[in-house]
């Protein structure tokens, strides 16, 4: 080719062409960033298989993943929106409290442990989904069950008395489970 300089611009490119008709339409997740972050660990808990499947498909597709893995991608979207739908029907108040707290605190999870604790509790009771942090050291209490949040600006100790007691019990039962293993 002749002398033609490559032109790059720093925009995020958005293709607004609608999908062709033979590809089934999926309803998009209608939530913005804060509710998504708030629900993320529960989405991970329920949809791990679908997500791993999608990532494996993309890895094996040799760069054609965007086209070849549409089916897996639809499953990922559907699973995530099912989680958000369930949280909305069962734990709307706790969910709202948590993501509003996140939005007001620079999306830092460590500033909002108290609403997070009640959300985790409600979701576990109603949906059976439990927050686990992947890759966290197993011999320590996970950070969302610790009463003292080291980096928090608002308050070091964010749990109230009842939550502190429950968190201690939850941490103790986790240790017991690991000892039995």
Interface with other proteins (CB under 8 A)? 9-12, 14-16, 27-35, 81, 84-85, 88, 95-96, 99-100, 103-107
Asked whether the beta carbons of 141 and 171 are under 8 A apart, the reply is yes
Q: What angle do CA 106, 122, 125 make, to 5 degrees?
A: 145
CA gap 99, 69 in Å, rounded: 31
Q: Among residues 14 and 161, whose Cβ is nearest to other proteins?
A: 14
Minimum Å gap between C-beta 48 and other proteins is: 19
Q: Among residues 42 and 95, whose Cβ is nearest to other proteins?
A: 95
Minimum Å gap between C-beta 17 and other proteins is: 10
Minimum Å gap between C-beta 86 and other proteins is: 11
Q: Among residues 73 and 171, whose Cβ is nearest to other proteins?
A: 73
50 to 72, 131, 145, 161: CA distances (angstroms): 7, 17, 28, 39
């Amino acid at each position: 080719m002749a002398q033609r300089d490559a032109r790059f611009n720093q925009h995020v490119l958005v293709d607004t062409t609608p999908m062709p008709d033979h590809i089934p339409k999926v309803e998009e997740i209608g939530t913005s960033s804060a509710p998504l972050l708030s629900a993320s660990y529960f989405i991970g808990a329920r949809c791990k298989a679908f997500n791993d499947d999608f990532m494996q498909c993309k890895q094996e597709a040799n760069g054609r993943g965007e086209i070849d893995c549409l089916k897996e991608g639809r499953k990922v979207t559907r699973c995530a929106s099912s989680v958000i739908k369930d949280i909305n029907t069962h734990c709307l108040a706790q969910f709202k409290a948590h993501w509003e707290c996140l939005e007001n605190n620079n999306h830092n999870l460590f500033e909002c442990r108290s609403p997070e604790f009640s959300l985790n509790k409600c979701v576990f009771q109603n949906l059976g989904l439990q927050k686990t942090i992947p890759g966290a050291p197993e011999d320590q209490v996970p950070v969302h069950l610790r009463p003292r949040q080291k980096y928090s600006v608002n308050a070091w100790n964010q749990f109230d008395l009842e939550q502190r007691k429950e968190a201690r019990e939850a941490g103790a039962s986790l240790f017991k489970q690991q000892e039995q293993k």
